[in-house]
Amino acid sequence: MPNNQTKKLVNGAMMVALFSILIAIAFYVPIVNLVAIIFAPLPLAWYSAKFDRGSAILVAIMGCISSFFIGSILIIPLAVICASIGVVMGDALRLKKSKVYLLMSSGITVLITFALQYVISIKLLNTDFIKEAMQMTRNEYEKSIELSQRITGQAPIDEKTLNQMFDTMQMALPAAIVLGVFFLTFIIVTSNLPLLKRFGVNVPKFNTFKNLRLPRSILWYYLILLSINLFISPETGSPLYVICLNLSMVLWLLLTLQGISFIHFCLDAYGSPSILKVLATIMAIPLYSFVLLIGIFDLGFDIRSFVKGKIQR
């Protein structure tokens, strides 16, 4: 028992030091900070996977306190987010949860942490950093319009269209934040799992992208949204319009990913070179409407079995 406690304390101190160093790099060093942010949760994820939840939370708190002494209060938001995702990742691995649980729990943790920090910044610091970022973006956009007008003699976009564009961006912010958070979480999880495996942690394997199969219920959600937009036509700016807009963005992305997965499945089934998969993925961006339609058919009908049957013949 004493040996186990000593091991826990020594490893905890090492992980706190390593976490603090990575957070300091992420906060102070340009360019390299992007890599440091991705791997900052690694020490706490390893510790949480090896030891109990209470000890992992205590080490995470100590890591945030240590980071505070390195970079003052400004470094705390980043440290809290990285510490939270590290503890949740490690806890899911220790409990031998599935890869879907690991990704979803980590993403939801980041969302909750981000939301709490946003509320605290508004209530205590009287600072709405999302609103300030939107205003900064608008100012930069207006400057580029003025520059273009001076060079060409005409404005590329009028004031009304500009207002509509930024109003839509503001209404779509919840979906954009959710998608951004889960994309970042996916990068962090997939980047850290191979290292955690090297350090003796049992990690779940992700299925290949070509075998991606989303729940069929997503197709029904999409059809319900289409029906609302066609038959009810919510007024622009209304709560129902904002909800439909944000849900549509998320579902568009999911169905587009399903369509790209089907294309990869077909190319792999016919033994196509990898470069074709890369080109197909790139072309899916401008042709997303067509790829989305493929994703709908892939979820609604068993066309993969049809492709397999054609190949076997």
What's the pLDDT tens digit per position in 35-60?
999 999 999 999 999 998 899 999 99
Distance between CA atoms of 249 and 179, rounded to whole angstroms?
9
Residues 54 and 186 in one domain: yes
Which among 132, 104, 139 has a CA at the least distance from the CA of 118? 132
Query: Which domain, by its residues, includes 301?
Result: 207-312
Residues 9 and 56 in one domain: yes
Domain boundary, last residue among 141, 163, 198: 198
- 227-271 per-position pLDDT tens digit: 888 888 888 778 888 888 888 888 888 888 888 888 888 888 777
pTM (predicted TM-score): 0.82
Residues 282 and 215 in one domain: yes
Binned at pLDDT 50, 70 and 90, residue 164 comes out as confident
Residues 268 and 287 in one domain: yes
Q: What is the pLDDT of residue 313?
A: 59
- The domain that holds 14 is classified in CATH as 1.10.1760
Contact 192, 89 (CB under 8 A): yes
Binned at pLDDT 50, 70 and 90, residue 1 comes out as very low
Residues 229 and 261 in one domain: yes
Note whether residue 183 is domain-resident: yes
φ/ψ of 158, rounded to 5, equals: -85, 170
- Angle CA(131)–CA(135)–CA(136) in degrees, nearest 5? 115
Q: How many domains does the chain fold into?
A: 2
φ/ψ of 204, rounded to 5, equals: -75, 155
